[in-house]
Amino acid sequence: MNSKIRVMLGLLLCAASAFYARAEDLYVPGQFATIQAAIAQARLDRLSPSLSPNETIVIHVAAGLYAETLPLILDVPNLTLQGATSLNIDVDGLPTSSGGSTETRIIAQPPLHKPSFSSARRAKI
């Protein structure tokens, strides 16, 4: 292969990798105990001058149950939050249920609750 073709192929590969660049991968619970902690780190990393705005930060959340303070605020540009849930698909290509133990679930901490009628003041008419 001549050297001009090799140089052109090298430039093409560099351009393609820059287009699909991934800045970093963050792992919950591997690196961070909570999803919010990983989002906070992604927010700090996004402010770093060494990180291009075109690069994607991916937060990988393993299967499990996570107690998080809601809402989770995803205000980080070019961020992907990826859970481990896999879905069972029907013949029409629509999701019907989750695939067993591969669920990533989030519960509110503190728990969300509706006020009960017994504790609410009732208006007298």
Alpha-carbon torsion, ordered 60, 65, 67, 70, to 10 deg: 60
Residue 2 reports pLDDT greater than 70: no
Does 13 reside within a domain? no
> pLDDT tens digit string along 26-55?
999 999 999 999 999 999 999 988 888 889
Question: Considering just the CA atoms, what is the radius of gyration of the chain in Å?
Answer: 22
In a domain? residue 17: no
Whether residue 8 lies inside any domain: the answer is: no
d(CA 42, CA 58): 9
Query: Would residue 117 count as lying in a domain?
Result: no
Of residues 100 and 6, the one with the higher pLDDT is: 100
Q: Is residue 116 part of a domain?
A: no
Q: Is the pTM of this model over 0.95?
A: no
Range(s) of the domain holding residue 50: 22-108
How many domains in the chain? 1
Biggest distance spanned by C-alpha atoms of the chain: 92
pLDDT at 6 over 80: no
Q: Is the distance from CB of 59 to CB of 80 less than 8 angstroms?
A: yes
Residue 15 forms part of a structural domain: no
- Token pair of 37, please? 């902690």
Alpha carbon 68 to its chain centroid, in Å, reads 14
Q: Is residue 58 part of a domain?
A: yes
| pLDDT tens figures, 61-118 | 998 889 999 899 999 999 999 988 777 888 998 888 777 667 788 888 888 776 665 5
**What are the structure tokens assigned to 68, written together?**
């998080």
Closest-CA residue to 62 (of 42, 81, 76): 81
Q: Is 16 part of any domain?
A: no
Total Cβ atoms within 10 A of residue 62: 13
